[in-house]
Amino acid sequence: MGPSLSIAGLEVRDPRGRVLLSVPALDVPSGALVGVEGPSGAGKSTLLFALAGLVAARGHVRWGAQDILALGSERRAAFRRETIGMIFQDFLLFEELSAADNAALSALFHPRKARAGLRARARENLTRLGLSGTGARNVTSFSGGERQRVAIARAMASNAPVLLADEPTASLDRAAADRLIDDLVTFVRRTGTTLIAVSHDPRLIARMDRVLRITDGTVSGDTTPNTAEGAQ
């Protein structure tokens, strides 16, 4: 299981000083699946980037005992590399690389002795996500659903205990999105990974343990979906 999350006095402002996000307090236990919903421009992605230490922010964002906002840029990047995997809605894959090479891309940023293990985990993740035997294929031939699975395998290759996802099903048709949701939820529950997913997709939101609603940069709702899985 990964670290728990504790937020205190989190505030993100734009260059003119306008408050984009304000979260006075929020606690998420290790291994939880949390959905974040709300209207476009409400601050959902800003929250995700603040949790990863990718935007300038005030306050405290503690993953376990580590306050990521208190770290300098190099230590923050190192913490993110070891602890946080990120999934983006537009995949951010390198078209000229194979699925296996894309999934193992983070090996380039790890010590040499760790690279073989990371590449092996990337291949294992591709198999777990239903892409067995596709590792050598160039991703230009992949469907949207397959590309997103490669992106998930990449995010998880370093055994990151936290997964942050920004609209992971937005670029997919309904059938592909449903298959991805099943695979993603199964994957994170099996590994005990903490998942925080920003999404407009009600089917993804319904599979979460907890749902935060962001409105005008603040948490305006905090609920538990009425599903058997969400109640576990």
Return the percentage of the chain with pLDDT > 90, whole number. Answer: 52
Phi/psi for 221 (5° steps) reads -155, 150
Kindly tell me if the per-residue pLDDT of 37 is higher than 50. yes
Does residue 146 form part of some domain? yes
* Residue 58 lies inside a defined structural domain of this protein: yes
For 98-132, b/e burial (b = at least 16 CB within 10 A) is bbbbbbbbbbeebeeeeeeebbebbbebbebbebe
Residue 231 inside a domain? The answer is no
Q: Alpha-carbon distance 199 to 36, whole Å?
A: 6
What are the tens digits of pLDDT across the range 43-97?
999 999 999 999 999 999 999 999 999 999 999 998 988 899 888 877 778 888 8
Q: Per the domain annotation, does 115 fall within a domain?
A: yes
Q: Which residue type, as a one-letter code, is found at position 197? A: A
Per-residue confidence at 227, pLDDT binned at 50, 70, 90? low
State the residue range of the domain holding 171: 5-223
pLDDT band at 149 (very low <50, low <70, confident <90, very high): confident
Domain assignment present for 65: yes
The CB-side HSE value for 167 (13 A sphere, CA atoms) comes to 13
How many whole angstroms separate alpha carbon 149 and alpha carbon 99? 10
pLDDT of res. 179: 86
- Asked whether residue 133 is assigned to any structural domain, the reply reads yes
Interior CA angle at 196 toward 11 and 198, to 5°?
75
- Average pLDDT over every residue of 10-24: 96
- Number of structural domains (the chain) is 1
* 128 domain residue, yes or no: yes
Residue 88, domain CATH: 3.40.50.300
* Entry pTM: 0.84
Number of C-beta neighbours around residue 136 at 10 A = 9
Specify whether the backbone of 195 is left (phi greater than 0), alpha (psi in -120 to 50) or beta: beta
Q: Answer yes or no: is 216 within a domain.
A: yes
Name the average pLDDT for the chain: 88
Percent of residues, the chain, with pLDDT higher than 70: 93
pLDDT digits (tens, 9 = 90+) for 139-148: 888 888 888 8
Is a pLDDT exceeding 90 seen at residue 32? yes
Laid out side by side, the sheet with 194-198 consists of 66-67, 58-63, 5-13, 19-28, 218-223, 210-215, 33-37, 194-198, 162-166, 84-88
